Structure 1
């Protein structure tokens, strides 16, 4: 790893979160007319094809070479399940609130890191976890106007994503990053692809919608590429706080595309979750010094 250009690394992470937010907005737009498995299938199929076309010629068999294929596949299934629940949540809730709830995942990972990975938590970790949960309560409070089923779907995504993160930490010591990325796209393409015929009905997409469908794989692929590349130029402890710029982009796109703005309590909850996540990231950074 180079890790000698932190500014470039931060720029790449912020670019990645912007691409992810654009992907979320495109998903939400298409989910008004199409079912989640269909949209997710096309996204993952395009993503997998792009990786094969771009990386296949010089990566060859290394793209699928794994020392722990069972865990790699389970990790990819967790991401697929998380994608399903995220899509269901986006159908029912605004982008900003959905994204904020989903960002509980890295905070919960900190709590589980001690019993599962043997990592220390510390008082900052516990306070950040409590702050994250408080933020979700502010966002999903009774009378707040959010669909309760949408909140449940977002929390189900958190459960799947936590499993995905923990397995990523375990596999990071033995697996190549590109291999993990490819398996994630491939397993998602296979599982959602098998479900796609059951959800492909009604009118054919318009030309504009076809472009949007194809863009899902492009923005997802480029986002993951930027995020992966960022780790070559800066340590994870520097990059982790920057991932919460995703909340900012989600709020801006939710307002520009759908005219949706969080209320004052919801905005406060989003800020609390972001602050808790940044605290966890900074704690990790200083703990390693």
Structure 2
């Protein structure tokens, strides 16, 4: 299997975990504060990473030639999560989600400028079809847009920057576990204060959900950093739409929300767009090596 193919599989796994993260957050939002939910994404995974690595390896784990970019990249997931919390407070979830998924357009548009990568026509087509699929699934009504749309729009930009910075660090030779460590450390630090300021004692069930939230977020971040170390951002971007599959599955199993015909049609478009981009890139690589 080529590095590009492994990168695609890893990005699908990453967004699958992120779909579960949103599901666990939806469960917890009724009883836990914003700060606690954000802290739960980072702190458990950070502790596990430190225990697995062991004290002897801590210094090497954080050793990086790009500390500034590691910190900036580490803050982007917190910005995405925080902005989306504010977004869904003022906007319907469907509208906020559709605006967030403008992020892949930013990735494709910026990858040439920021990463020097050639953007293939197939990537543009895949992203466009994926975005149309999200519109079909969400079926948003844009008749009441307001100033609050700035929140998910900014989240979409940070989501794009997260992917761009991940690729930049991976291409520079930064280890995936180093990027993961910096991300979890930054997120733990910035979410600790709001969590302590509005702490709500979790029940036993809440503790389990918080730990599941941290585990899925940590696994998603690791897969994300590995994916962008193996494949170009503009190739991986169309596959970020697979997150909606994970969210739909979580909704069926946990919330008993069975997708309707429009959602099923959107999922089919998402799968088709991913298969098209994967096939075009595979053909391109084969032609290049002949």
Q: TM-score, normalised by structure 1?
A: 0.76
Equivalent position to 1:48, from 46, 49, 61:
46
Equivalent position to 1:134, from 132, 135, 139:
132
More displaced stretch, 186-195 vs 239-248: 239-248
Equivalent position to 2:120, from 119, 122, 138:
122
Q: 1:49 to 1:142 in 2, by over 3 A?
A: closer
Aligned equivalent of 1:255: 252
1:247 and 1:210 mapped to 2: Cα distance?
Answer: 26
1:170-221 CA-to-partner distances (Å, cap 9, x unmatched) read 22114221110011111000001122223225xx221111121122222222
Q: TM-score, normalised by structure 2?
A: 0.76
Aligned equivalent of 2:63: 65
Shift of 1:81: 0.3
2:236 and 2:140 mapped to 1: Cα distance?
Answer: 34
2:124 and 2:230 mapped to 1: Cα distance?
Answer: 30
Aligned equivalent of 1:210: 207
Aligned equivalent of 1:220: 217
Q: Which runs of 5+ in 2 are unaligned?
A: none
1:275 and 1:149 mapped to 2: Cα distance?
Answer: 34
For the residue of structure 2 that corresponds to 1:120, the secondary structure is: coil
Q: 1:221 to 1:125 in 2, by over 3 A?
A: closer
The answer as to whether partners of 2:129 and 2:270 remain within 8 angstroms in 1 is yes
1:155 and 1:209 mapped to 2: Cα distance?
Answer: 31
Shift of 1:147: 9.9
More displaced stretch, 228-237 vs 217-226: 228-237
C-alpha RMSD of matched pairs (Å): 4.2
Equivalent position to 2:33, from 35, 42, 63:
35
Q: 1:285 to 1:174 in 2, by over 3 A?
A: same
Shift of 1:277: 4.7
Aligned equivalent of 1:109: 107
Aligned equivalent of 1:161: 159
More displaced stretch, 24-33 vs 222-231: 222-231
2:235 and 2:167 mapped to 1: Cα distance?
Answer: 17
1:232 and 1:169 mapped to 2: Cα distance?
Answer: 6
Shift of 1:75: 1.0
Q: How many residues align?
A: 285
2:7 and 2:122 mapped to 1: Cα distance?
Answer: 26
2:50 and 2:111 mapped to 1: Cα distance?
Answer: 34
1:242 and 1:112 mapped to 2: Cα distance?
Answer: 17
Q: Which runs of 5+ in 1 are unaligned?
A: none
